[in-house]
Amino acid sequence: MILFVKYDFNKACETLLKEHLDAYDVSYTLGSLGEVRIKGSLSEEQRKSLAGSLKRYGIEILDDQKITLVERIKNAIDDLLKNKELKSVKVSSYLADTLNYSYPHLSSVFSESTYTSIENYIILRKVDFAKELICNTDLTLTEIAFQLNYSSVAHLSGQFKKTTGLTPSSFQRIMKKKMNYTVNPNT
């Protein structure tokens, strides 16, 4: 039997972090964008233990400031793309305001660390979100394009094809066949 599940990655990570942090009996608050503010401090032994227990779940405690900032930029972009109320917000202004750095600085650190631009990363994330929406919802391509703040379905289709090599419609057909085969392998 195969179960298909839908999950909220952010909620899952938040719950996991809370469970692990509560085990250390420290006072903390979970900030946005992958931040945990610990009131007081953790001993080196506690920090290593926490890092080890979180690593099992693919969660890393970051020490390098540039890598930390890059992760915060990525998280802010994801928040921006998922938040319907922020559709008309300019990315550069949103990142600068949210992270309290100038956009040129953020852009420079991001490019230096990832070897790609923030703009290109946004395109890749939009295509990833489009894939999720195609697979997990019954939205039309027009609705998906609107939700991801594309000017048109043609714009979404162009970036999707350039990134994946497939049109969104082709991707949708392939995924439906795959789901159908997984559910009914003998047909």
Angle at the Cα of 75 from the Cα atoms of 38 and 129, rounded to 5 degrees: 145
Q: What is this structure's pTM? A: 0.67
Which H helix or E strand runs over 36? strand 36-39
Same domain, yes or no, for 154 and 140?
yes
Total count of domains within the chain: 3
Q: Among 99, 115, 131, which residue terminates a domain?
A: 115
**What is the longest distance spanned by two Cα atoms in the chain?**
60
Whether residues 48 and 79 share a domain: the answer is: no
Domain extent at residue 53? 9-61
Whether 125 and 167 share a structural domain: yes
Instruction: Decide if 77 contacts 123 (C-beta within 8 A).
Output: no
The values of phi and psi at residue 112, to 5°, are -65, -40
From first to last of its 187 residues, what are the pLDDT tens digits of the chain? 777 777 777 788 888 888 888 888 778 888 765 678 888 777 888 888 888 888 888 888 877 778 888 989 999 999 888 887 777 788 999 999 999 899 999 999 999 989 999 999 999 999 999 999 998 888 889 999 988 888 899 999 999 999 999 999 899 888 888 877 766 666 5
